A and B are shown apart, each in its own frame.
Chain A
Amino acid sequence: GNSVTQMEGPVTLSEEAFLTINCTYTATGYPSLFWYVQYPGEGLQLLLKATKADDKGSNKGFEATYRKETTSFHLEKGSVQVSDSAVYFCALLNFGNEKLTFGTGTRLTIIP
């Protein structure tokens, strides 16, 4: 079956630090990959996505590259801000059933 494994948190960084949150997946076929972000008290928002191998998704300074050979989709940002504090979820979607499979989430806290 499908599964997503995320770097365990919580992660605490200082403002302007470099961020990496690891994500690996197991899936049949060729899934699409997503990062969602959840701010306190809110629902999930799509942050970025990639639909095929070697695609790079990017948004708001965040990037992730779909690596088929390592089955990974690590999230990176060069310089984090306090406003990036949130929970980040990696997810995959297999076409045909449109079901999202989520990782357990990584809580990120940025301190000034």
Chain B
Amino acid sequence: EAGVAQSPRYKIIEKRQSVAFWCNPISGHATLYWYQQILGQGPKLLIQFQNNGVVDDSQLPKDRFSAERLKGVDSTLKIQPAKLEDSAVYLCASSPPAGGPQHFGDGTRLSIL
């Protein structure tokens, strides 16, 4: 089965610019997650979708971050405007409807200059 697809793999922008990341989960996986992984730390959950509805976005900095999953399949995460502290790897994961382990994509490494 195809894994979780993410793009781009790398992105370099200047602070105050905007950036968007894309994720396509494993087919049939109802739950989709976005994580932020800062260098030297474990992943931190930003937002969790169940189909196209938000289950948990308590850790999402809503003044600058937004995410959507319009058709309950792929998802985009946007940062506008970016700050230096947003430099991190952004990981997308998905899990099947009945629960079970989360499967991760390779991530997007974001560098803010």
Contact = CB atoms under 8 A, between A and B. Distances in A.
Interface of A: 4, 34, 36, 41-46, 49, 89, 91, 95, 97-100, 102-105
Given A43-B104, A43-B105, A45-B104, A100 B45 contact: yes
Interface residues of B, number: 24
Contacts, number: 51
A interface: dominant SS: strand
Interface of B: 4, 6, 31, 33, 40-45, 48, 55-56, 91, 93, 95, 99, 101-107
Contacts of A41: 106
A49 B99 CA distance: 14
Contact of B42 (A97, A99, A102): A102
Given A43-B91, A104-B42, A98 B103 contact: no
